[in-house]
Structure 1
Amino acid sequence: MGGSSSRDQPTETSNSSFFTEDELRNLKSEYETGGMEKAKLLIQRKINDLENTELNIAVTGQSGAGKSTFINAMRGLDKDDEGAAETGPTEGTMEPTGYRHPNLPNVCLWDLPGVGTPKFPARKYLKQMKFDKYDFFIIISGCRFTENDVKLAKESKRLKKNFYFVRSKIENDLHAMRMERGDFNEEEELEKIRNYCNRNLQEAGIQSPRVFLISSIDLNRYDFNLLNNALEGDLPSIKKSIYILALPNLNLEIVERKKKELKKRVWMLASLSGAIGAVPVPGVSLGCDIAILIGGIIDFRKYMGLDDASLQRLAKMAGKPVEDLKAVVNSPLVGEITPDIINRLAWGTAAVVISVLEITLDIIPVVGSIFGAGSSFLMTYKLLTGVLDNLTVNAEKVVTAAFGTD
């Protein structure tokens, strides 16, 4: 692909876990020698990693290529929103400028000056841009990739950094074709643009480049999902999860990917609940740790784009009244989370049959078998699984109301 080869990483498990094989062996050993109290520390450390790991994405290209528009779109923001990157025809970026994600502040997209400008000659660019801090580079062009873009890509490869070529403003190319020629085969023309970009990059010395055609004003079209798949395939487990959760809910595929990532967190939160000990919920015979449960619900709701601020941003992106999106949401989880709501959720899980054996074999590689069926662990696991299912259904309804079906 148009990036470096995969980084050497510890082998990750095939199950739904953020733990490597070595970490799982260590987790089992800690439990066997020190009980759940020692294993709990390793699980908590992994959760802290998920909450605190930073993801820094560098976006570079020539003036007018559409860097700022792309950065705003990736954060679900309009150019007029608070905190949006300034867009315009002139080169406004004279130094790396970071733009934090509105829901995940540890995710930052950096708008970098175009390489090869008088102030930033190519030979000094990488040092001045503090190259090592970025996880990967997105090189954007609004027309054709330049010699300086190629130099940046080659240096990225040399330093084992992944890079991705994005050909932006594709909607403008297609509009010009329609004005000039009338009807034409859109897929054939898109393939011609890809081939042109690939040939241009190969002639400049980039082996097997991959170019993604993007419209930042309509990310649902063209190659945006292909770009996401490429990025996710190259990122290590935790950063991949963070990247997926940072995506705006543009389509049902993104919602499903978020659900898959969040399901990996359910067993860890449930394990902490089981380790800490049950705090009975009023009116419910089984207990769970209330703080862990409420925190999980609030985080899951935010990641699934169902908090008020996320709904406002999505409505603006889709050009729909936010009331239309809120109207399709039918869940007690979007308001204040009270003991009464948890109580109702807990009674609802009575009909959910999840055996300890199923949990152990499915997604809990080590610690699932140490909790009994009536434990705080199992209760928290059932509750958070139900919460995630409920939020997913409602997020899908919102996406359909915003953009229609896939």
Structure 2
Amino acid sequence: MGGSSSSEQVEETETPSFFTQEELSKLKSDFETGGVEKVKPLIDKKVTDLDKTELNIAVTGETGTGKSTFINAMRGLRSNDPGAAEVGTTETTKEPTGYSHPTLPNVRYWDLPGMGTTLFPAATYLTKMKFKRFDFFIIISTVRFKENDVKLAKEIKRLGKQFYFVRSKIDADLYSMRKDKVVIDEEEELEQMRSDTVRRLVESGFPDPTVFLISSLEPDHFDFTRLNEGLEGDLNNVKKRIFVLALPNLSVEIVQRKNEILKKHVWMFAALSGGLGTVPVPGFSFACDIGIVIGAIVHFRKCLGLDDASLQRLANRAGKPVEDLKATVKAPLLGEITPDVIVRLGWGVAVVTISALEFALDFVPVIGSIFGAGSSFLMTYKILSAALKDLTENAERVVKVAFKTD
């Protein structure tokens, strides 16, 4: 569906950051007139704003279409994991029920009660659901989309929000076909399902609908990846990044996409470090804000699924002992991150030899020109870049072991 605006695309191309060009210019101007102390408040505010950014995804459809299972799959959970949405029960929801992501709590999936009942007639449904709070809607059905699904989609479109048609339980459909026909051509059957669903939606007034065929029990099959790519593509810069970081690690490709996003977070932490007083750290040949460095590394570890809770959830989904996954992670990444750990892992080894020329080639010229090549900014930037590379390689190994991929 719709993509980013032209202004957002310019910002993404010219400044791989969360600052606009105007804000970056102001940072430079403020630094020239007032030094680090004058630019620190804007950097602090930006980091705080990012922490508070919310992503709210509405999931709607009739009872029995698999809304709860879908919500669990998007959060990397099975139905019996702590915090999972309850599945297999009669619809009794009278209000939208929000389920936070286990690692990024500002990402929430909302299970909405069905539309078209006496409690929620179509005419007032979106108002009662507090329509404006949701970033987009996922309309889930099985076999075919019903009249209420179509009415809801038209109303969402009229009000200017994005929506997606998702046909769930495709694994069950194929299983039934195999029992009936013994041998089937899976690709042919999937294409028939898709074309039949699209045809019905065209007849209902949607000229060019996109339909995603998924199994929430097999998120590494069918259209689950296409759906996630579609959702990501229709979000603005900041929310797009949050959405990707919230995806469960089902493939090396997802880990690599997270890495690309976290690379753009590195300079934010480095800029925050550069705006604070530097502190000499025992075992380091330079000074930096060690609290920011450690906090950033812990954040990267969670986003890449290397904390204990994330590894356990992945082990549950893959049906593997969690010890098998942990065995692939380089020690001491799974324990407490301390200055000694950073030194032992060699993340700061070459920092002191970095020249101003090398720094000039980095992708943060405006911020870099503010803090300078010899500052805490550059020290932190290089340490976090090395740490992120190491964590990403470990996360890739974990995924390969979990799903037996090369």
Interval containing the TM-score (normalised by the shorter chain): over 0.9
Question: Alpha carbons of 1:347 and 1:224: their partners in 2 closer, same or farther (altered >3 Å)?
Answer: closer
- Cα offset for 1:89? 5.0
Asked whether the 8 Å contact 1:166–1:213 carries over to 2, the reply is yes
- Cα offset for 1:351? 7.5
- TM norm structure 2: 0.94
Asked whether the 8 Å contact 2:213–2:223 carries over to 1, the reply is yes
2:339: which partner in 1?
339
Query: Is 2:188 aligned against 1:188?
Result: yes
Query: How far, CA to CA, are the matches of 1:336 and 1:9 in structure 2?
Result: 41
Question: Alpha carbons of 1:323 and 1:237: their partners in 2 closer, same or farther (altered >3 Å)?
Answer: same
Gaps of 5+ in 2: none
Percent identity, please.
63
Question: Alpha carbons of 1:6 and 1:282: their partners in 2 closer, same or farther (altered >3 Å)?
Answer: closer
2:149: which partner in 1?
149
Asked whether the 8 Å contact 2:258–2:304 carries over to 1, the reply is yes
Shifted more, 204-213 versus 182-191: the winner is 182-191
Aligned residue identity for 1:378: L
Query: Is 2:298 aligned against 1:298?
Result: yes
Query: How far, CA to CA, are the matches of 2:311 and 2:342 in structure 1?
Result: 23
What SS does the aligned partner of 1:92 have? coil
- Cα offset for 1:31? 2.8
Question: Alpha carbons of 1:180 and 1:89: their partners in 2 closer, same or farther (altered >3 Å)?
Answer: farther
What SS does the aligned partner of 2:275 have? helix
2:211: which partner in 1?
211
2:239: which partner in 1?
239
2:12: which partner in 1?
13
Aligned residue identity for 2:287: G
How large is the Cα RMSD of the aligned pairs?
Answer: 2.1
Query: How far, CA to CA, are the matches of 1:393 and 1:6 in structure 2?
Result: 30
Asked whether the 8 Å contact 2:330–2:394 carries over to 1, the reply is yes
Q: CA offsets per residue over residues 44-103 of structure 1, 9 Å max, x none?
A: 222112211111110000110000000011111111122211111522323211111111
1:380: which partner in 2?
380
Query: How far, CA to CA, are the matches of 2:247 and 2:200 in structure 1?
Result: 30
What SS does the aligned partner of 2:271 have? helix
Q: CA offsets per residue over residues 10-56 of structure 1, 9 Å max, x none?
A: 54231422223333333333333333333332222221122111111
Question: Alpha carbons of 1:391 and 1:357: their partners in 2 closer, same or farther (altered >3 Å)?
Answer: same
Gaps of 5+ in 1: none
Query: How far, CA to CA, are the matches of 2:276 and 2:239 in structure 1?
Result: 28
Query: How far, CA to CA, are the matches of 2:157 and 2:134 in structure 1?
Result: 13
2:94: which partner in 1?
94
Aligned residue identity for 2:325: L
- Cα offset for 1:361? 4.5
Asked whether the 8 Å contact 1:13–1:21 carries over to 2, the reply is no
Asked whether the 8 Å contact 1:349–1:386 carries over to 2, the reply is no
Question: Alpha carbons of 1:304 and 1:351: their partners in 2 closer, same or farther (altered >3 Å)?
Answer: same
1:259: which partner in 2?
259
Aligned residue identity for 1:22: E
2:28: which partner in 1?
28
Q: CA offsets per residue over residues 92-137 of structure 1, 9 Å max, x none?
A: 3232111111111111110001111232111121111111111110
Q: What pairs with 1:2-401 in structure 2 (closer than 5 Å)? A: 10=8, 11-14=10-13, 15-345=15-345, 348-350=348-350, 356-401=356-401
Asked whether the 8 Å contact 2:328–2:397 carries over to 1, the reply is yes
Q: CA offsets per residue over residues 228-249 of structure 1, 9 Å max, x none?
A: 1111111111111111111111
Query: How far, CA to CA, are the matches of 1:168 and 1:213 in structure 2?
Result: 6
Aligned residue identity for 1:275: G
What SS does the aligned partner of 1:249 have? coil
Query: How far, CA to CA, are the matches of 1:132 and 1:181 in structure 2?
Result: 47
Question: Alpha carbons of 1:178 and 1:362: their partners in 2 closer, same or farther (altered >3 Å)?
Answer: farther
Query: How far, CA to CA, are the matches of 2:223 and 2:365 in structure 1?
Result: 36
Shifted more, 35-44 versus 67-76: the winner is 35-44
Q: CA offsets per residue over residues 173-209 of structure 1, 9 Å max, x none?
A: 1111222223332222212211111111111112311
Question: Alpha carbons of 1:347 and 1:166: their partners in 2 closer, same or farther (altered >3 Å)?
Answer: closer
Question: Alpha carbons of 1:212 and 1:298: their partners in 2 closer, same or farther (altered >3 Å)?
Answer: same
Question: Alpha carbons of 1:201 and 1:355: their partners in 2 closer, same or farther (altered >3 Å)?
Answer: farther
Question: Alpha carbons of 1:147 and 1:26: their partners in 2 closer, same or farther (altered >3 Å)?
Answer: farther
What SS does the aligned partner of 1:12 have? helix
- TM norm structure 1: 0.94
Query: How far, CA to CA, are the matches of 1:7 and 1:274 in structure 2?
Result: 32
Q: CA offsets per residue over residues 214-260 of structure 1, 9 Å max, x none?
A: 11011111111211111111111111111111111111111011111
What SS does the aligned partner of 2:98 have? strand
